[in-house]
C-alpha cells in the first residue's frame, strides 16, 4: 500500500511536469519573477542546493516542502541573511508548527534589499534628482504531512509582489514536493522529487506604463496612452534528488546528496553536496554545481562551503550556520542563518 501511494504521487508529478519542461532550453532567459529562484538558508546553499532529500523541518521550506513534516520539534523558526550579487541583500524568515495529526504548517517571507536607484529620463539620462527603491517580496504558506514513516508530501503557495518605480505586478506560484526515505529498504538512502514555481503568467501594470502622445496637427493638448506590457512565465523547475546518510560510528556521520534540475528557462543543472557531522553538534559542508551544456564563461556560481553549530540551550535547540558561495564577476556571497526549535 505504501509503495502504491508513492507510485501514484510520482506518476501525478511526472504527468504535471512533462509538458512544462519539454524544450525548456529553447526559452532560456525568458522567465520573469526570478526572485523565486534565489535560495535561502546557509546549510542548503553550502551544499550547493543538493539537499532535496536530507533538509528537514523548517530548513526544507525552500528546497522540498515535503520534508517540512520531518521534524522532532513542535515549533521551529529560522532567520537568514545573504549578500546576493550586485550588493543585493536577501532577508528571510519563517516559522513552522505541528498541528496534531493534521500535519505541519509554515509561514515564510523573503524580501530583497536592492537599495535606492536614481530616476532617469530621456531628457535627463544622468538623473532627475529623484530616487526609487524596487520592492520584491515572496510570502509563502506551506502544508506538509507524512503519509507513512517513509513517504512525505508537501505543498507551498507563494504570493509574489514586485514593484519597480511606477509599475508593479503580483501573482501566485506553487511548489509541490514528495520524498521517500529508506528507498529499496536501504537505510539512509532517500529519493525526492520537487516541482517549483507553477502558476499563471504575470503582467506588469501601473502608471509608469502611461506615455505622453504629442499631436501637433490637432488643436488639443497632449494625450496619454497606455502601453500593454507583455506577460511572462514563472521560472518553473523540476528537481530530482538522491541522498545517502552513512553512519561512520556513534559520533561521526556523513551525508552525501545529489540532484538534477530541469528548468523552463535555463540549461540542465547537476548539483553535488556533502556534510560531515560530529556528535550532531558540529557540521562541515561543501558542494558544487555543474551545467555541461553551458559554456564555463557563462556560469556565475562556483564552489560552495560552510559550517554549522547546533546546541541545546535550556531545552531549546539553537542552530547557527554559515555558507560561502563563489560568484563570478561579483563579490562572493555570504549567508548566515539562525534557527530555533522547541
Write out pLDDT tens, residues 122-158: 888 888 999 999 999 999 999 999 999 999 999 999 9
Residues pairing with 177 in the sheet: 154, 194
| pLDDT for 28 beyond 70 | no
Query: Considering only 14-23, 163-172, 236-245, which range has the smallest mean pLDDT?
Result: 14-23
Q: Exposed, middle or buried by CB within 10 Å (0-12, 13-18, 19+), for 220?
A: exposed
* Residue 15 CA neighbour count, 13 Å, CB half: 6
Residues 284-317: tens digit of each pLDDT = 999 999 888 876 666 788 899 999 999 999 889 9
**pLDDT value of position 23:** 47
Residues 194-220: tens digit of each pLDDT = 999 999 999 999 988 888 777 666 666
| pLDDT for 275 beyond 80 | yes
Residues 316-328: tens digit of each pLDDT = 999 999 999 999 8
Residues 150 and 69: beta-carbon distance below 8 Å: no
Closest CA to 211 of 264, 158, 166: 166
Q: What percentage of the chain has pLDDT greater than the value 90?
A: 70
Closest CA to 327 of 112, 84, 88: 84
Radius of gyration of the chain (CA): 22
**pLDDT band, very low/low/confident/very high, at 31 (cuts 50, 70, 90):** confident
Residues 257 and 274: beta-carbon distance below 8 Å: yes
Q: What percentage of the chain has pLDDT greater than the value 70?
A: 88
**pLDDT value of position 218:** 63
**pLDDT value of position 292:** 85
- pTM, full prediction: 0.90
> pLDDT averaged over the chain?
89
**pLDDT value of position 339:** 97
**pLDDT value of position 4:** 60
- Burial pattern 203-216, b for ≥16 Cβ within 10 A else e, equals ebeeebeeeeeeee
**What is the mean predicted confidence (pLDDT) over 165-186?**
94
| pLDDT for 90 beyond 80 | yes
Q: Nine-digit cell at 159?
A: 504570493
**pLDDT value of position 242:** 97
Residues 36-89: tens digit of each pLDDT = 999 999 999 999 999 999 999 999 999 999 999 999 899 999 999 999 988 899
| pLDDT for 17 beyond 80 | no
Grid coordinates 547557527 are at which residue? 320
Amino acid at each position: 500500500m505504501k509503495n502504491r501511494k508513492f507510485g501514484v504521487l510520482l506518476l501525478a508529478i511526472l504527468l504535471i511536469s512533462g509538458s512544462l519542461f519539454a524544450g525548456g532550453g529553447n526559452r532560456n532567459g525568458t522567465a520573469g519573477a526570478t526572485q523565486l529562484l534565489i535560495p535561502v538558508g546557509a546549510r542548503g546553499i553550502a551544499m550547493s542546493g543538493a539537499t532535496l532529500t536530507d533538509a528537514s523541518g523548517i530548513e526544507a521550506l525552500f528546497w522540498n516542502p515535503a520534508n517540512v513534516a520531518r521534524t522532532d520539534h513542535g515549533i521551529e523558526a529560522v532567520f537568514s541573511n545573504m549578500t546576493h550579487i550586485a550588493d543585493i541583500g536577501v532577508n528571510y524568515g519563517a516559522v513552522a508548527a505541528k498541528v496534531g495529526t493534521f500535519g505541519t504548517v509554515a509561514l515564510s517571507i523573503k524580501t530583497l534589499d536592492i537599495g535606492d536607484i536614481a530616476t532617469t529620463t530621456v531628457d535627463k539620462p544622468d538623473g532627475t534628482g529623484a530616487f526609487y527603491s524596487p520592492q520584491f517580496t515572496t510570502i509563502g504558506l506551506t502544508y506538509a504531512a507524512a503519509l507513512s514513516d517513509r513517504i512525505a508530501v508537501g505543498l507551498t503557495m507563494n504570493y509574489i509582489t514586485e514593484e519597480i518605480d511606477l509599475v508593479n505586478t503580483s501573482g501566485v506560484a506553487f511548489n509541490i514536493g514528495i520524498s521517500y526515505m529508506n528507498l529499496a529498504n536501504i537505510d539512509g538512502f532517500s529519493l525526492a522529487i520537487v516541482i517549483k514555481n507553477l502558476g499563471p503568467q504575470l503582467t506588469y501594470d501601473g502608471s509608469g506604463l502611461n506615455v505622453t502622445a504629442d499631436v501637433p496637427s490637432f488643436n488639443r493638448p497632449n494625450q496619454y496612452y497606455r502601453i500593454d506590457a507583455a506577460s511572462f512565465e514563472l521560472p518553473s523547475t523540476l528537481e530530482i534528488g538522491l541522498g545517502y546518510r552513512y553512519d561512520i560510528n556513534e559520533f561521526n556521520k556523513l551525508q552525501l546528496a545529489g540532484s538534477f534540475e530541469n528548468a523552463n528557462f535555463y540549461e540542465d543543472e547537476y548539483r553535488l553536496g556533502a556534510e560531515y557531522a560530529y556528535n550532531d553538534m558540529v557540521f562541515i559542508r561543501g558542494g558544487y554545481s555543474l551545467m555541461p551544456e553551458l559554456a564555463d564563461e557563462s556560469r556565475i556560481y562556483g564552489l560552495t562551503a560552510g559550517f554549522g553549530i547546533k546546541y541545546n540551550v535550556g531545552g531549546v535547540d539553537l542552530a547557527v550556520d554559515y555558507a560561502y558561495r563563489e560568484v563570478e564577476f561579483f563579490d562572493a556571497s555570504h549567508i548566515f542563518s539562525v534557527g530555533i526549535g522547541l
